[in-house]
A and B are shown apart, each in its own frame.
Chain A
Amino acid sequence: MIKDGAFAGVPHQVVYAIGMVLTAVVVLSAFVAPLAGITSWLERRVWARMQSRVGPNRVGPQGILQWLADGIKNIMKEDIIPTAADQKLFPLAPYIVFMGFLCSFVVIPFGANLIVADLNIGILYLLAVTSLVVVGILMAGWASNNKWSLLGGMRSAAQIVSYEIPAGLAILTIIFLAGTMSMQGIIKAQGWGPWDWFLFDNPFTFCAFFLYFTAALAEGNRTPFDIPEAESELVAGYVTEYSGMRFLFFFFAEWGNLYVIGAVATTLFLGGWQVPPLPIFDNHPVLLGMAQFVTFFLKAYMWVFVAMWVRATLPRVRVDQLMALCWKYMVPLSFICMLGTIGFMFMSHQGRRIFGALTLGFAIATIINFFRRVGFQFRAAKPEFYWKPHI
């Protein structure tokens, strides 16, 4: 019991617990807010350059503070709640979406010792809290009292619930291999080199990775699966009636979610924060920590970049095609991946290494072939060469 002060009569444990939660929230917010903001700037920049535009480049060097300007602008806008909207649920919905996204940062590891809570059910917890987003979206769609919002909300609910199944099954293959659901445990079961990653463990995990990534894009309402907010069909989907700060919260969650997708993919398949055991790290634990953080961050952002790239390239699928893709192709495929991985686990260590090496070779050949094709198209298009990274 605390004797005096504002908390007199309250048990110590409660005060400490509240203090810990508050600290975690502050630290996370301080990390997540710039992260989501800079991701939004990066997306607009990357997208602009792919579309032969310039993109935001006015606020700060190369426009890197654009997200701050947008945030301030949106905070200062009038908070409009339509009179016909549900007066309680309408303001609440963005926060639920945001909660679902923020809670996922609790289990995302940034380094060997840099994690809020290394839960022994880490990945399960992550799947559970990201499902909160669908509640918020459905709430937003319903409470807006707008037909477009409702359509968007219903589409989103159907989509996220469906795509959780292939995503969950793809994650299950990794849980089998690692023997744990803890995020740190999964990373520690892998090594620093690509040959030790679960991505190249066997052909089935290789497929499972792409299944996971596709399903995660769909869960994050990203193109080509952005039908809940398809602006050419549903005006703005479930965010049609939102403005100002509440609108920002939805997009905050969407852009931050991009990083979560990349981080989970990195953790599960790409060896997480594992760095080569260089002799310099033995005496400098801080350097080791920084190297791990940077490694993890770069790997995660590579997939964020791929998601932006996909968004700039592909059109949107129709809602029935979206469902058909999930239930007819991805769910059976992820089952096959799961069963195949189980089969591989009975194989001897040497045999698995051979298949892993073959998968790695196949991946490298694919990447080389990709660049050859790009080069061919490039020469066919005869573009003018210019190098202006700083417009």
Chain B
Amino acid sequence: MFLKKTLVSVVNTLMFLKNTLVSIANTLMFFKKTLVSSKNERVCRPQKINITFLKYNYLYNMPQTTNTPVLDPQKWIDSYADYLYAYAYNRVNDEESAKDLVQETFLSALKARDGFKGEASEKTWLVAILKRKIIDLYRKNAAHPQQSFEESEQYKVAYSHYFTESGFIKGEWDKKAGPKPWNVPDNNGIEQKEFKHILAGCLGKLPKMWASVFSLKYLEEEESESICKELEISSSNYWVIIHRAKLQMRECLEKNWIKA
């Protein structure tokens, strides 16, 4: 009881401190904003006029054809194939599927050629298509029908493996599975290749749904909301999956990569 009371009082004081700090910071920010905006206005006005002037100049003097987008499929392979292949390979970790992905992107880019409006450059347009294809691949993996039963089994195993389910304090780190100090290997080229290999192996050990979520999050760097939409899972489910996937990946990497 005594401990709890002291804790609550400490937290209360912390709360008070935070509130005061936040209010002070807010007032400071307000002053700063007013100052900055007044400065900016002075600097920006002449520039604005310049830009509009340039625009008119451009419209009257330039030929109209520069606005229409130009795609050159003959040169795609020479200029973009390596980049796209590396992009796909680094995310999928498999030569064959990386090749297939690049081929598919070129084919669908050829089909969708008329829809290209020139809003982005050719390269970013192709990368966007490739990214779409990779996400589709992950989604296909996640929706594997045979996986559901196995997954539920692994759910049960995993948590009790990492955290104690009974005892004096529930939910503490298990002594065997808890984090140990890491000596991170240096970042040589060889080491990195090895890391990729290990990472792929560890991802393969995860249930497919988790692997898809994990790679979408950390390899594709998608927002959590869009991942939930893509894979049709609720957000709380998503957080649980990320939590467990991270726990499992951490252990797997500790065993294979760190070798302490």
Binding between chains A and B: no
By a beta-carbon cutoff of 8 Å, the part of chain A in contact with chain B is none
